[in-house]
A and B are shown apart, each in its own frame.
Chain A
Amino acid sequence: DGGITQSPKYLFRKEGQNVTLSCEQNLNHDAMYWYRQDPGQGLRLIYYSQIVNDFQKGDIAEGYSVSREKKESFPLTVTSAQKNPTAFYLCAIWTGLLYGYTFGSGTRLTVV
């Protein structure tokens, strides 16, 4: 994973529950991103943070929340307001123009 760790790899959620996906990095980069991936829809940006204690909504932020209290950590909470949360979630860090994004290995969330 190149210094970026997502956990857990698989997560099951009951309807009406909030769940939190972890993303940790030890590469000392400022900018971190959360994407959602669904079959045939590519990657859609949920939230991103370019500095500690600051974050911005992406294209599909409704039903999600984030925090950025530490440079190393950017957790994503999928709330009960997200009506269709089953998807593959990817966290990424921006490592500059030489390498673009470095991605974590992803978390597959399933509603049961």
Chain B
Amino acid sequence: AQSVTQLGSHVSVSEGALVLLRCNYSSSVPPYLFWYVQYPNQGLQLLLKYTSAATLVKGINGFEAEFKKSETSFHLTKPSAHMSDAAEYFCAVCGNQGGKLIFGQGTELSVKP
């Protein structure tokens, strides 16, 4: 069975500070991993994905994530937070090519001026 754990339901950073959102996964097969962002009352948008190519994945809006198999992690980072990054972020895992993503609980990111 696959699962995703996002550590920290709320993360607060100052504008310009490093953003680090944590995601650990469990999968019995090589995983495909995704990060999505959700703004209030909207659907989710894809930030980036890992599909067994490069372990460091770059996404939109300056975000990136590193796949670490030994740590079963796929943490999301951004060097310098912007006010517009305030949103909820979801990590998701898929163990095969057929869809049906399993989502983490989400992490709400707040950015202080």
Contact = CB atoms under 8 A, between A and B. Distances in A.
Nearest to B100: A48
B9 interface: yes
A43 B49 contact: no
Interface in B42-91: 42-46, 49, 51, 90
Given A50-B98, A97-B97, A100-B34, A43 B103 contact: yes
A94 interface: yes
B92 interface: yes
A33 B105 contact: no
Contact of B101 (A50, A88, A100, A108): A100
Nearest to B32: A97
Contacts of B9: 40
A55 interface: no
Contacts of B90: 42-43
A42 B104 contact: yes
A81 to B, nearest CB: 24
Contacts of A43: 44, 90, 103
B34 A103 contact: no
Given A1-B43, A31-B98, A40 B105 contact: yes
A41 B104 CA distance: 8
Given A31-B98, A42-B106, A101 B41 contact: no
Given A42-B105, A43-B90, A104-B43, 4 more contacts: A31-B99, A42-B104, A100-B49, A106-B42
